[in-house]
Amino acid sequence: MTAGQEAQWVRIHPLVVRVTHWVNALAILIMATSGWRIYDASPLFVFKIPPAITLGGWLAGALLWHFAAMWLLAVNGLVYLAYGFVSGHFRRKLWPIRPRAVIADLLAALRGRLAHDDLTVYNAAQRAAYATLILALITLVLSGLAIWKPVQLQGLAALLGGYEGARLVHFVAMALTVCIVVVHVAMVALVPKTFPTMITGRIRRRA
């Protein structure tokens, strides 16, 4: 092997991103499953969520889980957002998002032809998915606050169409989040070499 071909460790996911990513994944798991139990106590639509995949056992138990994980999600999310903007992480990794490139990558992914050889950059479909996920989570937290304190935060609640409107927005943002996370985890399973990078933060590649 010549000097130019020596393998080197390249850092691709900073520590803050890795820690907030896994705390976020745990918080979302608790928020979604306890939220489904709360939904079942007063469903918005004709269907109910199977109790076997909900958390909390009953309405009061689910509310306790939901309010506990809410702080984890919100504080952790604020750390991630502050780091993302201040350090330039979002500008470097999630920007720009060009609709043509996103559509081309989505079509390639559906045909099973989306290459993810260079793990130091996110492809256009990933950037769009992560940015949508971040916006969906912000919407979830804001609509959740409006449902929690509709009197104190009546300006926010009014912006979301009142209490019932905020409930609908909360449900739609939850559904969008769950759909993107399911696809996200499926993509990680299809490209398993990405998984350890979200733990160690590094990849080994030829210089």
Q: Under the rule (CB under 6 A), what is the footprint of ligand HEM?
A: 17, 21, 24-25, 28, 93, 119, 130, 133, 181, 184-185, 188, 194-195, 197-198
Q: How far is the CB of 77 from ligand HEM (least distance, A)?
A: 9
Alpha helices, DSSP H only, in the chain?
15-41, 59-86, 89-93, 99-110, 124-148, 154-159, 162-190, 194-200
Least distance in angstroms from the C-beta of 26 to ligand HEM: 8
For the bound state, the minimum distance from the C-beta of residue 11 to ligand HEM, rounded and expressed in Å, comes to 12
How far separated are the first and last CA of the chain, in Å rounded? Answer: 11
Q: In the complex, what is the shortest distance from the CB of residue 108 to ligand HEM, in angstroms, rounded to a whole number?
A: 15
- Closer residue to ligand HEM, CB minimum distance, 19 or 185: 185
- CB neighbours (10 Å) of residue 13? 20
- Pick between residue 24 and residue 139 the one whose CB is nearest to ligand HEM: 24
Nearer to ligand HEM, 31 or 62 (CB): 31
- Among 68, 63, 98, 93, CA closest to 80: 93
Q: Rounded distance, CA 29 to CA 61, Å?
A: 16
For the CB of residue 162, give the shortest distance to ligand HEM in the complex, in Å. Answer: 28
And the tokens for 24?
A: 């976020």
User: Residue 9 or 195: which CB sits closer to ligand HEM?
Assistant: 195
Q: How far is CA 195 from the centre of its chain?
A: 16
Query: What is the distance, to the nearest Å, from the Cα of residue 162 to the centroid of all Cα atoms in its chain?
Result: 26
What is the closest distance, in whole angstroms, from the C-beta atom of residue 170 to ligand HEM in the complex? 16
Buried b (16+ CB within 10 A) or exposed e, 22-31: ebbeebbebb
Nearer to ligand HEM, 6 or 117 (CB): 117
Q: List, in sequence order, every residue forming a beta bridge with 10; answer none if it has no partner.
A: 203
Q: Which is nearer to ligand HEM, 138 or 188 (CB)?
A: 188
